[in-house]
Amino acid sequence: MNAPADILFETQRFGAATLRNRIVMAPMTRKRSPAGVPTDEVAAYYRRRGEGGAGLIFSEGAFIDHPSSQAHEGAAYDNIPHFFGRDALRGWQRVLAEIHRTGALFVPQLWHVGEVRRLGMPDDPAVPGYGPREIVEAGEVVVKAMSERDCEDIAGSYARCARTVREMGCGGVALHGAHGYLMDQFFWPESNPRTDGFGGTMTDRCRFACLVVERIRDAVGPDFPIVFRFSQWKMTDYDARIAETPEELETLLNRLVGAGVDWFDVSTRRFWEPAFPGDPRSLAAWTRQLSGRPAIAVGSIGLDRPHQSKFFRDKVKIDANVADLGPVVEALARGDFELAAVGRAILADPEWPEKVRTGRVSDIRPFERADLARYR
Output the pLDDT for position 315.
52
Q: How confident is the model at residue 77 (pLDDT cuts 50, 70, 90)?
A: confident
Torsion of the alpha carbons at 273, 274, 280 and 286, rounded to the nearest 10: -110
Decide if pLDDT at 75 tops 60. Answer: no
Q: Domain tally for the chain?
A: 1
Residue of higher predicted confidence among 312 and 341? 341
Give tens-digit pLDDT for 133-143: 999 999 999 99
pTM for this entry: 0.95
Determine the average pLDDT of the residues in 314-332. Answer: 79
Q: Is the pLDDT of residue 17 over 50?
A: yes
Residue 1 domain-assigned?
no
* 181 noted as active-site residue: yes
Average pLDDT rounded to a whole number, residues 13-26: 98
Identity of the residue numbered 301: I
255: in domain: yes
Q: Domain for residue 123, yes or no? A: yes
| 177 pLDDT tier (thresholds 50, 70, 90) | very high
CATH number assigned to the domain comprising residue 326: 3.20.20.70
User: Would you say residue 95 lies in a domain?
Assistant: yes
85 falls within a domain: yes
Judge whether 171 lies within some domain: yes
Q: What's the mean pLDDT in 362-375?
A: 86
Task: For the chain, give the longest Cα–Cα distance.
Answer: 61
Average pLDDT over residues 59-74: 92
Q: Residue 119 belongs to what domain range?
A: 6-372
% of the chain with per-residue pLDDT over 70: 94
At 319 the pLDDT is 73
The per-residue pLDDT for 313 is: 44
Half-sphere exposure in the Cβ direction for 286 (13 Å, CA): 28
- Does 77 map to a domain? yes
**pLDDT surpasses 60 at 307:** no
Q: Give the model's confidence band at 311: pLDDT under 50 very low, under 70 low, under 90 confident, else very high.
A: very low
Q: Residue 376 burial (CB < 10 Å; 0-12/13-18/19+)? A: exposed
Beta strand segments in the chain, E: 12-14, 17-19, 23-25, 56-63, 105-111, 129-131, 135-137, 140-145, 173-176, 226-231, 263-267, 295-298, 339-342
132-to-69, 254, 258 alpha-carbon distances in Å: 14, 22, 22
What are residue 131's phi and psi, to 5 degrees? -165, -175
pLDDT attached to residue 144: 98
pLDDT in the model for residue 3: 59
Find out whether 24 and 55 touch, Cβ atoms under 8 Å: yes
Taking alpha carbons only, the member of 135, 327, 110 closest to residue 209 is 110
End-to-end CA distance of the chain: 25
**What's the mean pLDDT when you consider all of the chain?**
94
pLDDT at 1 (0 to 100): 46
Q: Which of 88-97, 154-163, 360-369 has the lowest mean pLDDT?
A: 360-369
CB 239 within 8 Å of CB 233: yes
pLDDT band for position 155 (cuts 50, 70, 90)? very high
pLDDT of amino acid 317: 62
Instruction: Note whether residue 65 is domain-resident.
Output: yes
The pLDDT confidence band at residue 259, using thresholds 50, 70 and 90, is very high
Q: Which of 46, 130, 181, 238 is catalytic?
A: 181
Residue 274 DSSP SS3: strand
SS3 content of the chain, % helix, strand, coil (to 5): 35, 20, 45
Q: Are 173 and 165 in contact (CB under 8 A)?
A: yes
- Per-residue model confidence (pLDDT) at position 350: 97
- pLDDT tens digit string along 199-214? 999 999 999 999 999 9
Instruction: Specify the range with the lowest mean pLDDT, choosing from 204-213, 229-238, 367-376.
Output: 367-376
